Structure 1
Amino acid sequence: MIYNIDCIRGAKQYLDDESVDLIVTDPPYNLGFGGTTQTKTKRPRFEIIANDKLSHAEYQSFTYKWLSEAYRVLKIQCHIYVCIDWRMYPYMVLWMKKVGFIIKNCIVWDKQQMGMGWQYRFQHEFIIFAVKGSSNVRRIKSRKKIDIWRIPRISGNKMIHPTEKPESLMKEIIINSSEEGELVVDFFMGSGPVAISAAQTNRRFIGFEIDEKYFKIVEEKLR
C-alpha cells in the first residue's frame, strides 16, 4: 500500500502502534538540493523536494514529528535505517536518540564514483542503523556483514529523483533486517527503491510520498 500523503499524517492515519517490522527511509537532508548543475543550462535537473529547504528550527520540528511517529509504529526489538549525509548526521543522531531510538552503528555507503565539490569530492553517504528497545534486539542475518558498503550510485543521467538511491542498497538492508511476509515502511518513498525492493523480496510494504509526481512513478513501477 502506498499513499500520496505527508508521512506524519499518513502514519497517524494508517499505522498502528508497534505494527511495523522494519523502517527504511531517506528523508530530506535540508540542503535545498535539486540535483547536479553539470547540465547544458548549468541549472539543477530537478525541483527541490518538499521539506528540503527549511530553517534549522523548522527542520528540527519536522524531523522530531516524523521520527516520533516512526518510533511509535516500530515494533520493540526491530530496526530502523535512516539515510543522511555528513553535514546533517550529528543532528539526526541526536534527534533519533531524543525520541527513544538506540543508535547501533553508522553504515558508510561508498558510491564508488565521486560526486560534486572541490574540497575533496563526495563519494559517500551515511545510513544510521538504530533499534527500538535495549534487550533481546533482533540481530541482522550475518555476523560477516561490515559497515562499509561498496555499491555503485545511479549515474546522474539516469536519475529520476535528485537524491535517488539504488535498489540494490535498499534490498541489502531489507534482507538483513526482516523476514518474508513482514511489514516494511518507508516514510519518504521518493522514486521508490524501498518499495520495489520490498516487493522483490516478498515483504509487505507501506510507503508515503508527498509529491504526486514521484508517487505516480512508484505506482507505475509497482504495476
Structure 2
Amino acid sequence: MDCVQGAKRHIEDCSIDLIITDPPYNLGFGGTSLTKTKKPRFNIIANDNLSNRDYQRFTFQWLRQAYRVLKPGRHIYVCMDWRMYPLVSLWMQRVGFAIKNCLVWDKMHMGMGWQYRFQHEFIIFAVKGNKQTRRISTRKASDIISVPRISGNKTIHPTEKPPELITPLILNSSDSGELVADFFIGSGPVAEAAIKNGRKLIGFEVDSKYYKLTTDRINKLKL
C-alpha cells in the first residue's frame, strides 16, 4: 500500500528504531536502455515522474510520517541522487530532522553517459531531534561506502540497491531485535539486510509486482 496511508494506519508514534529508505528521485527512470529494443527494461516506478509541486507535496507527506514514527534521537538514511539532494535535505530539515552527514555510495563501476559518467549516489544521514541523539556503533566508518552496483542486466528493479550497501547502515544504527522501517521497499534490499542481521521490519510498497518480489525474497531467507 501507499506508505503515507500505511504509516498512518499501521505505525504508532515514536515506535521505529531506524528508517532506511530509497524514495523516488523524480527522474522518470526506467532502468538501462541497453536492450534489444533500445527501450528501458522497466516501467517508471510510482511517484517518479511528478510535477515539481506534486513531488514536493508527496515528499513532505512521507517525511512527516517518517518523523512522527521515528523514536527521538534515532537515525534515518535516505538514498538520493545528486540532482535532488539539495531539495530533499532542505525538506527533511523543515520537517524537523537534523542532517548529520552526506554519505557517498561509490558504485565502483561507471554508469552510461558521456559527460563524466555517473559512479555515485548520496545517502542523507539524519537524526530526529538535536538532543540525546544516538551515535553510530563505530568510529571507523567512512562517509564513502564502496560497494559494486548491480549490473543493469541483472537488476529486478530500476533503482535497485545491493543489500551489502544497506548492511553497514543497519549494523551502525540499530541493535539486534530492533524495528527497522522502509517506506519504499522496492525489490527488498533493506528487508533482506534487516532480517539477515536479526532486526524486525515493517515496510510499504505500492506496486504489487515489487511487493511480491520482496515477500518472495523474505520467504527464501526463512528456508
TM-score range, shorter chain: over 0.9
* Superimposed CA distance per residue, residues 71-129 of structure 1 (whole angstroms, 9 cap, x where no aligned partner): 00000010000000100000001100000000000000000000122110000000000
Counterpart of 2:53 in structure 1: which amino acid? Answer: A
Measured on the aligned residues, the alpha-carbon RMSD in Å equals 0.5
Aligned residues: 219
* Aligned pairs (5 A) from 1:14-53: 14-53=10-49
Question: For residues 173 and 143 of structure 1, what CA distance do their matches in structure 2 show?
Answer: 13
Q: 1:181 aligns with which of 177, 180, 183?
A: 177
The 5-angstrom pairing of residues 40-119 of structure 1 reads: 40-119=36-115
Q: Which structure would you say has the larger RCO, counting Cα contacts within 8 Å and 6 or more residues apart? A: 1
Q: TM-score, normalised by structure 2?
A: 0.97
AA aligned to 2:213 is I
Q: Does 1:170 align with 2:166?
A: yes
What is the SS of the residue equivalent to 1:189?
Answer: coil
- Tell me what 2:194 maps to: 198
Q: Which amino acid in the other structure matches residue 74 of structure 2?
A: C
| CA positional deviation for 1:147 | 0.2
Given the alignment, which residue of 181, 192, 213 partners 1:217? 213
Structure 1 counterpart of 2:63, one-letter code? L
**Aligned with residue 138 of structure 2, among 135, 142, 145:** 142
Q: What is the SS of the residue equivalent to 2:153?
A: helix
Alpha-carbon distance between aligned partners in 2 of 1:159 and 1:187, rounded to the nearest angstrom: 20
Contiguous gaps of at least 5 residues in structure 1: none
Deviations 1:129-171 (A, max 9, x none): 0000111210001111110111101111110000000000111
What is the rounded CA distance, in whole Å, between the counterparts of 2:159 and 2:127 in structure 1?
Answer: 25
Percent identical pairs in the alignment equals: 65
**CA distance in structure 1 between the partners assigned to 2:47 and 2:38 by the alignment:** 24
- Equivalents in 2 of 1:153, 1:64: separation in Å? 29
Q: Partner letter of residue 193 of structure 2?
A: S
Report how far residue 172 of structure 1 moved.
1.2
Compute the displacement of 1:39 (Å). Answer: 1.1
Question: Taking structure 1 as the reference length, what is the TM-score of the superposition?
Answer: 0.97
> Counterparts of 2:119 and 2:50 in 1: how far apart (Å)?
25
- Amino acid corresponding to residue 167 of structure 2 in structure 1: K
In structure 2, which of residues 107, 124, 127 is the aligned counterpart of residue 131 of structure 1? 127
Instruction: Could you list the structure 1 runs, at least 4 aligned residues long, displaced by more than 6 angstroms after superposition.
Output: none
Shift of 1:195: 0.6
Unaligned ranges ≥5, structure 2: none
Tell me the SS of whatever aligns to 2:87.
helix
Measure the CA separation in 2 of the matches of 1:186 and 1:122. Answer: 25
